[in-house]
Amino acid sequence: MRKIIVTEFITLDGVMEAPGGNETTHPHAGWQFLYNAPETGKYKVEELASVDALLLGRKTYDIFAGYWPHQTGKEFADPINNLPKYVVSKHLEKAEWNNSHILRDVAKEVAALKNTKGGDILVYGSATLVKALLHHDLVDELRLMVFPVSIGGGLRIFDDNREMKKYELKYSQVTDKGVLILEYQPIR
Annotate 97-154 with DSSP letters as a single string.
STTEEEE--IIIIIHHHHTSSSS-EEEES-HHHHHHHHHTT--SEEEEEEES---S--
Q: What is the pLDDT of residues 124-178, one digit of tens each?
A: 999 999 999 999 999 999 999 999 999 888 888 887 777 889 999 999 999 999 9
Q: What is the mean pLDDT of residues 69-81?
A: 96
- Indicate the pTM of the whole model: 0.93
> Mind listing the domains of the chain with CATH numbers?
1-19+47-160 (3.40.430.10)
Tell me the C-alpha distance between 157 and 167, whole Å. Answer: 15
pLDDT at 19: 66
**Please, are residues 180 and 37 in contact by the beta-carbon 8 Å criterion?**
no
Q: What is the pLDDT of residues 7-28, one digit of tens each?
A: 999 999 998 876 666 666 666 7
